[in-house]
Structure 1
Amino acid sequence: MDGTGAASSLLGETRYTLDGSAKPLSYFFTTILLIIFVYSLQGTKLNTPSINQKRRFELTDSRPKRNYLLNARKLMQQWFTANPNKPTQMITDMGNTIVLPPSMANEIRNHSDLSFTAFSQEVKKSVPECESYDRRRRDTDNSMAQFFQTKYPGFDAFAEGGHDSITLVVINKDLTKQLAKVTEPLAEEASLALLKIFTAEKEWHSIPMRATLLHFIARISSRVFLGTELCRNEAWLEITKNYTLNGFTAGDRLREYPPFLRPIVHWFLPGCQEARRQIKAAAKIIQPIIDERKVLKAKAVAEGIPEPVYQDAIEWFEQASKSKGTAYDPALSQLFLSTVAIHTTTDLLGQVLVDLAKHPEIIEELRKEVRTVLQEGGWKKTSLYNMKLLDSVVKESQRIKPLQLASMQRIAIKDVTLSDGTFIPKGANTAVSSHSQWNAAVYPEPEKWDAYRFLRMREEPGKENVSQLVSTLPEHLGFGHGKHACPGRFFAANEIKIALVHLLLQYEWKLPVGADTSITDYGVNPLLNPGLELEIRRRADEVDLTF
């Protein structure tokens, strides 16, 4: 299968052979999404059939979990082909999950008793003694607290983002509200970062795609998160790129030990030590900037002049802290923000570049569109909105290869009975299958990457709004759906478009001969080859992007 993730049935076809590089990369996306969409292991017996249940006399979940990791797509495909509108149950590497069909997405999208934030409250109650935490869950390795080991130093950033956290206030309110004001700074940083990272070399040369894009996205994201003072700080960029993977793999290593040994073992494991070092290093980088800004503000007040204004997340966190009267940890908040923003954006941008490399005929049409829009409106939020073909291209790549094959993860905070009689016991995990994204009844020729698919849909009466990249539907769960849809999707969409505009107008790229662009599934995570390289060069007819 090629990099477009072609599907011949509900969930498509893909490779199921996992090499050593696939597992760590899948950890990124599992970790990133689970920080908000939290999993736990329910103890109540479910009334939905399991598609990878344990066999009689089988004492552990090892075999069904392995089956899930290797065959999740196939298992869900077989079930929903035979039972299009019936839920099923699946044993995953993080416990049992009730997988609902897309037809139930609207029913649960805003259900008050199905929440992804409730479990984070339980995690807070479980630290440090865990006495108020349900013992049935506490003693497993399937809760968020155990999975991310958040009660141990070094894993603290993964505990950010609870329902009442300052971090979520910043993501939901400031990051989206300030989009118009951060568009131009993002564009400026993208231009500078591309020249530094992709170079001005006008001869074809190879780059490691994922590593290069990760560094690029980390830098331009940091322009908004940390301002000009730190967005080019290489020490910070290394931390923000590596903390998530290191934290996940360290937690994975720690879980190999019995729970009663972990309070001691974590002090000696190299990965845990590195996670603690990264948090301390992040604090040493960020705190001086906060202190300096406080001094400058106090000085301005004393001199009777306007205080300096900062348009970045450092300032937003400070203001949110004052507004709520709640203390926060700047380093942990920034690490959490980077974790949920950088790796997911890198993944989607990489897939778009691969798809465009396979369809070079679309590239010139995109260049025409972005030139026209920028010449008319410059770098504005509205300009990005008017890049409708570009929007369609990104959404199509996300349709074919989303971050996960099942989205809208929830936890039942009460017993729930859905309209079809499906019973979801309190404490159970749920998710919605994304297979409608490859359903021919919804998307004609679903295996085909069609750059104009969503552009045409926008032109249909009543579909202008639902066909945009940031829109969510049961038929397209790339950003989830409902009130818990990805809150940072508006920023991510703008950031990806800005990156693509610069790449389109200033660079050319292509796939090396024989490049492996196949997709490997690890559980519900479809992964593009992490070792993929691109051939790239600076365009001879460079375009002035200052406008």
Structure 2
Amino acid sequence: MAQTETLLQTLAAKLPLLLSTAGLLVAVFLAQVLLKGNPLANLPVALDDLPSDEKRRQVFLTRAKDVYATGYKKFKDRVFRIITSNKYHVIIVPPKYLNELKSLPDDTVSFDGAIEQTMHAKYTKLEVGHKLIPHIVKSNLTPSLVRLNPTIAEEVQESFRREMPECDDWTPVNINYKLLRIVAMVSGRVFIGPELSRSEEYVDAAINYTIDLMHARRAVDTMRPWLRPFLANRLPEIKKLNERLAQADAFIKPIVAHRKKLPKEQAPDDMLQWMLDGQSEKFGGEYKTETLARMQLGISFAAIHTTTMTTTNVFYNLAAYPQYVSVLRDEVRDVLAQNNNTFTSAALQGMKRLDSFIKETMRIDPAGFAGFQRRVYKPFTLSNGQVIPADVIIEVPAHALAKDPDVFENPDQFNPWRFYDIRQKAREQGAVEEAAQNQFVSVNPLVLTFGYGRHACPGRFFAANEIKMIIANTILMYDMKLMDGHTQRYPNLEFGLSSVPDPTKELLFKRIEIA
């Protein structure tokens, strides 16, 4: 007891010294912070006329396109920042620095880190960062397209027979809904095999996982960031997504388990099998069955969501500008006639006006307003001396760039032959590389549909072929137009960073006589 009292007396005697020492340490820390300064403080912010970051965040939710456009117009070749729904500070880097950005290592700027951030992978449980998937796409899927294209074309035609009504007279069709099913089946044919790709169980899982994932992402987006760790998992959209994941896992896991037991000579020729065969220590070792099932869902999301949106956008333009359909139809017929009426790789490459129509559609109506999203893990310095700090997201203002009159003539005008003319002129001048860069599938620093640099979308060749086949088959079989009373293209729905074709709209289709 006496020892305790002595110890307390000693502490009491030294308390003022301890408090003053602690106070000094706090003061030194604060001084260091103040001297170091806020690395974002000197960066201009879009919508700087608004009184707070929360006000800017609210504007971003409903008018993100205007936020990017206003910032781009005001600061143009300068780095600036915006306040988004997902992370408070996002740094916008001018497009002229793209070649510098693409050379940065992954431990400095991370594509996967940006996906985790923008898709809220912590809450949506989206599988991100597996090296096996891009490897399989690049080494197996893309080289196989020459062999697979006729099979894909057959699947497109079969899916149309299953999904489209007769359309003997003008018939309203919700083309977005039909495309979700068609793309799911066509993509599934390559991803998981013909026996499963047409089953309702698979189609339902693939489509509704994609839809539920996007709903969950948007729900988290609308929640204030500081509340997410406490409340995001309670959101109805997140709970519904978790239920969908459990259902899809239960369906896909037995398929993966069965494939693992098959003899090599019985192995199917599809992406699931390539993934099973490609597992190695280089790509993270052997994956659990559950992980492979989730990876298949992730592949379906990437393929179905983006391909359906792109193709729906194209259909809305075809219906809004019917004067161009006959030109495209003639091109498709001529090219197929030169290729034994088969959708070979050469035939798809020969549909140059169709290619231009699709690329112009994505210039005018992209899936998002920014490109080249990366999460910054280490500070780096641009060639102009501007330091980009860690712990931010960087983006390039892709849509504002695509609507810049200094980059594209009459940028607000839909010109379906814009890129066709650019390619033709480049060929005439012997600029082969420029001609190649202006194809739909090409990675182009002026149109960032597929990203840029080494993380450009690896599946873009498959996606481009699938989109072309769907559109070509449609214009060979149908005339189409907007619903009665509509004279202009249906506007896209905009939410935060995303721009999507209105999924509730219908088009009128009428089957044509095949010559």
- Does TM, normalized by the shorter one, top 0.5? yes
**1:84 Cα deviation from its structure 2 partner:** 2.0
CA contact (8 A) 2:46 2:70 kept: no
CA contact (8 A) 2:328 2:354 kept: yes
- Are 1:363 and 2:315 an aligned pair? no
Q: What does residue 115 of structure 1 align with? A: 109
- Aligned pairs (5 A) from 1:35-434: 45-52=40-47, 61-95=53-87, 96-112=89-105, 114-117=108-111, 119=113, 143=117, 147-150=120-123, 155-156=124-125, 158=126, 160-162=127-129, 164-250=130-216, 258=227, 261=230, 266=233, 271-297=237-263, 307-322=265-280, 324=283, 325-328=285-288, 329-377=291-339, 378-434=342-398
CA contact (8 A) 1:161 1:168 kept: no
Q: Which amino acid aligns with 1:527?
A: V
CA contact (8 A) 2:445 2:452 kept: yes
* Cα distance per residue 1:50-73 (max 9 Å; x no partner): 1145966x5xx4322101123332
The one of the two structures with greater contact order (alpha-carbon pairs below 8 A, sep at least 6) is 1
For 2:378 and 2:91, locate their aligned partners in 1 and report how far apart those are by CA, in whole Å: 15
For 1:412 and 1:259, locate their aligned partners in 2 and report how far apart those are by CA, in whole Å: 21
Change (3 A) 1:52 1:174: farther
TM-score normalised to structure 2 length: 0.82
* Cα distance per residue 1:314-338 (max 9 Å; x no partner): 1111112257432142320111001
**1:276 Cα deviation from its structure 2 partner:** 3.3
Change (3 A) 1:269 1:444: closer
Q: Which amino acid aligns with 1:284?
A: A
Match among 440, 443, 454 for residue 419 of structure 2:
454
For 2:406 and 2:49, locate their aligned partners in 1 and report how far apart those are by CA, in whole Å: 34
Match among 465, 479, 486 for residue 436 of structure 2:
465
Aligned length: 458
CA contact (8 A) 1:52 1:68 kept: no
Which runs of no fewer than 5 residues in structure 1 stay unpaired? 1-42, 124-142, 299-306, 543-547
Change (3 A) 1:54 1:360: closer
Match among 402, 407, 420 for residue 437 of structure 1:
402
For 2:228 and 2:401, locate their aligned partners in 1 and report how far apart those are by CA, in whole Å: 40
CA contact (8 A) 1:187 1:379 kept: yes
**1:528 Cα deviation from its structure 2 partner:** 2.8
Q: Give 3-state SS (helix, strand or coil) of 1:535's partner.
A: strand
Q: Which amino acid aligns with 2:43?
A: T
**1:91 Cα deviation from its structure 2 partner:** 0.7
**1:252 Cα deviation from its structure 2 partner:** 6.0
**1:196 Cα deviation from its structure 2 partner:** 1.1
Q: Give 3-state SS (helix, strand or coil) of 1:149's partner.
A: helix
CA contact (8 A) 1:47 1:422 kept: no
For 2:240 and 2:495, locate their aligned partners in 1 and report how far apart those are by CA, in whole Å: 26
For 2:483 and 2:108, locate their aligned partners in 1 and report how far apart those are by CA, in whole Å: 46
* Cα distance per residue 1:190-231 (max 9 Å; x no partner): 101111111333121111222121121111111111110111
Q: Which amino acid aligns with 2:183?
A: I
Which runs of no fewer than 5 residues in structure 2 stay unpaired? 1-37
Change (3 A) 1:497 1:249: closer
Change (3 A) 1:70 1:540: same
* Cα distance per residue 1:466-524 (max 9 Å; x no partner): 11111122211111111122222111111100111111111221111233612343223
Structure with more of its chain in helix, by fraction: 2
| Greater Rg over alpha carbons, structure | 2
Q: What does residue 470 of structure 2 align with? A: 499
Change (3 A) 1:355 1:118: closer
For 1:322 and 1:486, locate their aligned partners in 2 and report how far apart those are by CA, in whole Å: 23
Change (3 A) 1:260 1:379: closer
TM-score normalised to structure 1 length: 0.77
Q: Which amino acid aligns with 1:530?
A: P
Alignment RMSD, CA only?
Answer: 2.7
Q: Which amino acid aligns with 2:408?
A: Y
For 1:144 and 1:389, locate their aligned partners in 2 and report how far apart those are by CA, in whole Å: 34
Q: Give 3-state SS (helix, strand or coil) of 1:536's partner.
A: strand
Change (3 A) 1:144 1:520: closer
Change (3 A) 1:93 1:297: same
Q: What does residue 20 of structure 1 align with? A: none
Change (3 A) 1:290 1:331: closer
**1:293 Cα deviation from its structure 2 partner:** 4.2
For 1:230 and 1:527, locate their aligned partners in 2 and report how far apart those are by CA, in whole Å: 29
* Cα distance per residue 1:368-401 (max 9 Å; x no partner): 2222222222221222111111111111111111
For 2:269 and 2:298, locate their aligned partners in 1 and report how far apart those are by CA, in whole Å: 19
Q: What does residue 16 of structure 2 align with? A: none
Q: What does residue 3 of structure 2 align with? A: none
